[in-house]
Structure 1
Amino acid sequence: MKPLISQVGRMQEFSAGKDSLNGHWEMMGASLKESLDTFPNGFLSWLIHKIETFSNRKVILNRPAATLTAIKNFGQQ
């Protein structure tokens, strides 16, 4: 049986954006030269309509929010 071998290293950020989505893409090898769009005021109404039509469900929160806060405030809905 071969001995287990491990390697340890540090990575340096390369992508333009510094949010969670950019970071996850970068960890998988997809570095972005431009940051992804953000939507601090929520998604545009035409996109919300498409999502609701496709999913046959209403969007109940269309703005940035911490996960636990969103669940606390909108979980019952």
Structure 2
Amino acid sequence: MTETYPVFSGAGAPNADFAVVTTDGVTLISGKVDPQGMWTGTSVEALAPGVYTGKVLQSSTTGPTETDFSFTVATR
């Protein structure tokens, strides 16, 4: 990706809270999963070119979950 403010999307438990957090502890986006189990949003942090890793965290009535992620922001 080459976007400074990338768009993230995923699936989760309907109405669960979620956050996309880098390994360094920076929250890129947070919100609530929609009733159909989908979420999307634009990073609130500008990202410089490089490799990013972290976790997508979810908190729902069935308990917390986390999923690892990795992506690269390329130079334009």
TM-score, normalised via structure 1 length: 0.22
Q: Report which of the two structures shows the higher radius of gyration computed on alpha carbons.
A: 1
Greater share of residues in strand: 2
TM-score, normalised via structure 2 length: 0.22
Greater share of residues in helix: 1
